[in-house]
Structure 1
Amino acid sequence: MTAPAVKSWCLALLSCSMLLSPAVTAYSADSDKGRRKVVHVLEDDTGAVIVQTAPGKVITHRGGTITLPCRYHHEPESVDPDRIRIKWTKVTDEFQFEDVFVALGRQQRTFGLYRGRVELEQAGPGDASIIIHNVTLQDYGRYECEVTNDMEDDTGFVNLDLEGVVFPYYPRLGRYKLNYHEAEDTCKQQDAILASHAQLHKAWRDGLDWCNAGWLEDGSVQYPISHPRDQCGRKDTPAGVRNYGYRHKEDERYDAFCFTSKLNGQVYFLKRFKKVNYAEAVKACQRDGAAVAKVGQLYAAWKFQLLDRCDAGWVDDGSVRYPIVNPRARCGGSEPGVRTSASLIKSSASMGSTASGRIQAAPKPSPHRLQFQTPHHSPGVFEDAVAQHY
């Protein structure tokens, strides 16, 4: 019996000069794009520092540039600006904070992974806003702006959101094999992070339907159901995001819900004259100046590059997948999504790859339900590859 044909998907990273987008100002979740948020600063007669940040959230994507707005007012106005301290921290847990940026007069310092990427906006008196360049997946979250004038201080909060896509993930060993820390590492290995409840809820509103429970970044275990059925918590229960609550991070095992955002590169299908196994797909992508794409990168390409191809190819975790924007009968179903056609033994299975400039035009994916096929093991399978250039 002839083995199924598989190529490989490769990932091409663009040059650093193309990583940063033009500066993006702050927007609320419901505001029109391009409309700058007006932040009103309140005053009182106490002489205290009063801080106000943008309500709602500001939105950008990985690789972009974003302003986190924060303004302050103090009485009397003759206070020496060199005695004003501005401090930004990221809220990492309910009572835990990570230092991001601090300024006292003309002295400024950034911390950790924010070094070289954060600066004051300096748009005039009373402006404590910061600009974050080359935004990463890890930048997603809630930030605190604190302004201190001698013994008086006040704080405000800004939520930084990312445009992206949530995808369910389980390893090749099977479902419900990951504790929390393994789920966190698994998402990182596939160019993603554990999704938040807000991200999963948005994905559910957009049509994500998945019957297996998975870890989220806060340590809870949930799963989204758009089409209630008996196999997924009873047919007579309403659609929604089902929640198992907070689970034991070391002992309990589930799948993972990962989140990724726009790529700083391009995924493409690398087709060769013959089918290749996984090791050959890795070498083929390397010879093309690329690398086999990770699962998160393929999802990002599907959403942001509108990558649409009916040919399956190797990806980094040894699975075989293909992205569909325009559903058609011969390509696995009536819904858009990233299909998983096989989970194969790397040494004995063969497939192909994806190359730049071979993307079919397609309309932007609208609210959708991600579709997956049950993986199967098949020795002696040859496919193409999915690649990303460096």
Structure 2
Amino acid sequence: NNRVSPLYSGTGHLCRACTSVSALPADTEKGRRRVVHVLEDDTGAVIVQTAPGKVVTHRGGSITLPCRFHHEPEDIDPARIRIKWTKVTDALQFDDVFVSLGRQQRVYGKYRGRVSLEEAGPGDASVVIHNVTLDDYGRYECEVTNDMEDDTGFVNLDLEGVVFPYYPHLGRYKLNYHQAEDACKQQDAILASHSQLHKAWLEGLDWCNAGWLEDGSVQYPISHPRDQCGRKDNPAGVRNYGYRHKEDERYDAFCFTSKLNGNVYFLKRFKKVNYAEATKACVRDGSVIAKVGQLFAAWKFQLLDRCEAGWLEDGSIRYPIVNPRARCGGDWPGVRHLGFPDKKFKLYGVYCFKKKEEEMMSKLPTTKSPTKKNSDSLPTNTTVSS
């Protein structure tokens, strides 16, 4: 099949409006605390209430995952209340995030140093995640236990960002699921979710090559049906191949990235260079050669607009266009892709990435840890079940 999309021309541009994944349900709700109402009853059970819909932030930000609880009787010892947060990684799989029993608290794995109770009053089980990463995206469970009674609620954490299709220098349809996952990570991104791809399609993303998503399915978005992309008489939408064999089958990837802790820039030089010289030039300038995901993030959030082709870390040649003009590859904004030329003999400019100085630790609020009991591990005589 001819898999060339009309929105992805010979210069390989990707429409800016097509790839934006914005806050849900609205930008005005970003960063605001949700008001959570808890209804009392007389059953004696613990009642947990979490925010409906999604909470939205961006990479590097801080976000509250809201969860409140009510229990009967009112005078129960707070030290007997157990709060546990986990992340849902699959239908029946969970990763531990945070657990507390009274004043004892523990944070797990990659969340250490970044997650703490909000402690906004009685009945508050909300946690705050600082320095949010791409991997924090997803669904979280809040469980509150009162002796033998317990209840749970769920919170969905969404990120502002951009979805982009990706294939490596080996060519199209060369990646199994695990290779696609690694390819996105190598380009400062993660495999996109179905909801992220669907959101991008609603905003116009049209791409005629099927790619892996994070749930193991293979899909592709079509805004303008045509015979080359699953028949012209089929309706527009996100075409779904279903869940495919993760080891044996090969497709492209749909990646997702968010804001950068740094800046991407075109390195001004008097002459063009090959790939090895481009890499060294960025290092001499106190930075590193930019990744594909970093260029997309810079185009989306920095509004980086540069009508000059340059090397990226994966050996591809691309350039970002916010304001389209005829001499810069067409009528659509996007990141133009010129392929993977010979690294030794082809000469181009280069896009570099310079990371900002880490200031997150100085910005974190002081946590309450008057004794060793509020440390990473709980005392051996404290029981906190999974």
Report if the CA contact (8 A) 2:33-2:64 is conserved. no
Q: Distance in 2 between matches of 1:158 and 1:264?
A: 26
The equivalent residue for 1:302 is 299
Pick the aligned partner of 2:28 from 18, 28, 32.
32
* Paired position in structure 2 for 1:51: 48
Structure 1 residue 78, shift from structure 2 partner:
0.3
Structure 1 distance, partners of 2:227, 2:120, is 57
Q: Could you say which residue in structure 2 is the equivalent of 1:271?
A: 268
Shift of 1:272: 0.9
Match of 1:281 in 2: 278
In the aligned structure 1, how far is the partner of 2:24 from the partner of 2:329?
38
The aligned residue for residue 384 of structure 1 is: 349
Equivalent residues of 2:87, 2:97 under 8 A apart: yes
- Matches of 2:125 and 2:108, distance apart in 1: 17
SS at match of 1:32: helix
> Which position in structure 2 is the counterpart of 1:116?
113
* Cα displacement string for residues 206-256 of structure 1 (whole angstroms, at most 9, x for unaligned residues): 111100000000000000001111110111111110000000000000000
**Paired residue for 1:174, among 146, 171, 174?**
171
Q: Report the Cα distance in structure 1 between the residues aligned to 2:168 and 2:120, rounded to whole angstroms.
A: 48
8 Å CA contact 1:28, 1:37 repeated in 2: no
Query: Counterpart amino acid of 2:289?
Result: V
Letter aligned with residue 237 of structure 2:
G
Taking the TM superposition and a 5 Å limit, the aligned residue runs for 1:158-173 are: 158-173=155-170
Residues 28, 316 of structure 1: alpha-carbon distance in 2 compared, 3 angstrom cutoff: closer
> Cα distance 1:287–1:173, how it changes in 2: closer, same or farther (>3 A)?
same
**Separation of aligned partners in 2, 1:133 and 1:202:** 25
SS for the counterpart of 1:303 is: helix
Residue 346, structure 1, aligned to residue 343, structure 2: yes
* Local SS of the residue matching 1:300: helix
TM-score w.r.t. length of structure 1? 0.84
Does 1:138 find its partner at 2:135?
yes
Normalised to the residue count of structure 2, the TM-score between the two structures is 0.85
**Shift in alpha-carbon separation, 1:60–1:387, aligned structure 2, 3 A:** same
1:342 deviates by: 3.0
User: Is the Cα contact below 8 Å between 2:312 and 2:318 reproduced in 1?
Assistant: yes
Deviation of residue 30 (structure 1)?
4.2
Deviation at 1:185, TM superposition (A): 0.4
Q: Secondary structure at the match of 1:342?
A: coil
Q: Identify the residue that residue 182 of structure 2 maps to in structure 1.
A: 185
Which whole-Å CA distance do the structure 1 matches of 2:349 and 2:307 have between them? 12
| Residue of structure 1 aligned with 2:249, choices 252, 255, 259 | 252
User: Using a 3 Å threshold, how does the CA distance of structure 1 residues 168 and 31 change in structure 2: closer, same or farther?
Assistant: closer
* Cα deviations by residue, 1:266-311 (Å, 9 ceiling, x for unpaired): 0000021111100000000000000000000000000000001110
In structure 2, the partner of 1:334 is 331
Q: Secondary structure of the residue that 1:382 maps to in structure 2? A: coil
Higher relative contact order (CA 8 A, sep 6+): 1
Secondary structure class of the residue paired with 1:280: helix
CA distance 1:28–1:228, shift in 2 (3 Å): closer
Q: For 2:200, which of 203, 213, 218 is the aligned residue?
A: 203
Equivalence for 1:231: 228
The residue number in structure 2 matching 1:83 is 80
1:389 alignment partner AA: K
1:184-205 alpha-carbon deviations (Å, 9 max, x no partner): 0000000000000000000101
Kept in 2: contact 1:63–1:135 (CA 8 A): yes
Aligned equivalents of 2:229, 2:331: Cα separation in 1: 21
Cα displacement string for residues 30-86 of structure 1 (whole angstroms, at most 9, x for unaligned residues): 473365421000111111110000000100000000000000000111000011000
Contact 1:28–1:55 (8 Å) recurs in 2: no
What residue in structure 2 maps to residue 368 of structure 1? none
Q: Secondary structure at the match of 2:204?
A: coil
Percent identity between the two aligned chains? 81
Quote the residue 2:154 is aligned against: 157
Q: Which residue of 2 aligns with 1:319?
A: 316
Q: Please say if residues 48 and 153 of structure 2, whose CA atoms lie closer than 8 Å, have aligned partners that are also in contact.
A: yes
Deviation at 1:389, TM superposition (A): 1.3
Alignment of 1:68-107 (within 5 A): 68-107=65-104
Taking the aligned partners of 2:24 and 2:51, their CA distance within structure 1 comes to 8
Runs of 4+ with deviation above 6 angstroms: none
Q: Given that residues 192 and 214 in structure 2 are in contact (C-alpha distance below 8 angstroms), is that contact kept between their aligned partners in structure 1?
A: yes
The alignment status of 1:220 with 2:185, answered yes or no, reads no
Q: Calculate the aligned-residue CA RMSD, in Å.
A: 1.1
Q: Is the 8 A contact 2:24 2:158 kept in 1?
A: no
Q: 2:39 aligns with which of 28, 39, 42?
A: 42
Q: How many Å separate the matches in 2 of 1:345 and 1:116?
A: 44
Give the number of the structure whose residues are more often strand, by fraction.
Answer: 1
Partners of 1:91 and 1:142 within 8 A in 2: yes
Runs (5+) with no aligned partner, structure 2: 1-22, 356-386
